[in-house]
Amino acid sequence: MGEKLLLIIGERECMNRLKQDIKVIFERDPAAKTFLEVVLCYPGLHAIVLHRLAHALHRNKLILIARLISQFGRFITGIEIHPGATIGNGVFIDHGSGVVIGETAEVGDNVTIYQGVTLGGTGKERGKRHPTVGNNVVVGTGAKVLGPIIIGENAKIGAGSVVLNNVPPHTTVVGVPGRVVIYDGERIPSIDLNHEDLPDPVAEMLHCLQKQIDDLRFQQEKCLKEGK
């Protein structure tokens, strides 16, 4: 049975992906200290490895076994990835508790996903019903990305955001519903995990409104002083 599984997955591909999955943890998590710690104590890594196996079985029409492996992975990690989902290389699920990735979801390379994230659907429609996430995307804690939408490469989704529409590349989304904030068209050169730098479009709008009110009050006081 083990030999058949290796033939299905591809032994060399399996080892290369595992090495890359471990490497990205050291690159993106300062808490990672040793190789043994990462292999034994990181549920995000366990979930990815089990998904690789389940996905390979799912592609070969071994649906029930694939689902059983997926459910086992959910039980031990708290992360639910449907065997039909496509996960790229270098994906890092940090902490991971409560992460749900739907059947037709597609996750690109070098994507970082934090705990509580949902890549889900919006109804009972068939076919493509889950998001497509591009390369180098960061999805913040508790974000909900719903429907067959496309998240462009190098995008950043803020913690707690609810995203229901396509997100252009090199942009940031925050809020409920998610609002896109473009960084002057500048390309984000690398994965940026600094959540405290996310802009708040609601706060910015309130600031603009307050400035307009102050300007109107100043003009009114000036007119009163001039007796107009």
Taking the chain (228 residues) in consecutive chunks of 10 residues, what is each chunk's mean pLDDT? 52 74 88 89 92 92 93 94 92 91 92 93 82 93 92 90 90 82 52 55 72 82 73
pLDDT of residue 188: 44
pLDDT of residue 182: 60
174: helix, strand or coil: strand
pLDDT of residue 91: 92
Q: Report the 10 Å Cβ neighbour count for 76.
A: 11
Any alpha helices (H) in 42-179, and if so which ranges? 43-59, 63-77
pLDDT of residue 163: 92
The model carries a pTM of 0.74
pLDDT of residue 190: 46
Q: Determine contact, residues 22/44, Cβ cutoff 8 Å.
A: no
Pairing of strands 80-81, 92-93: unpaired
The beta strands (E) that lie in 15-131 are given as 80-81, 86-87, 92-93, 100-101, 106-107, 112-113, 118-120
| The token pair that represents 228 in the structure block | 């107009």
pLDDT of residue 76: 93
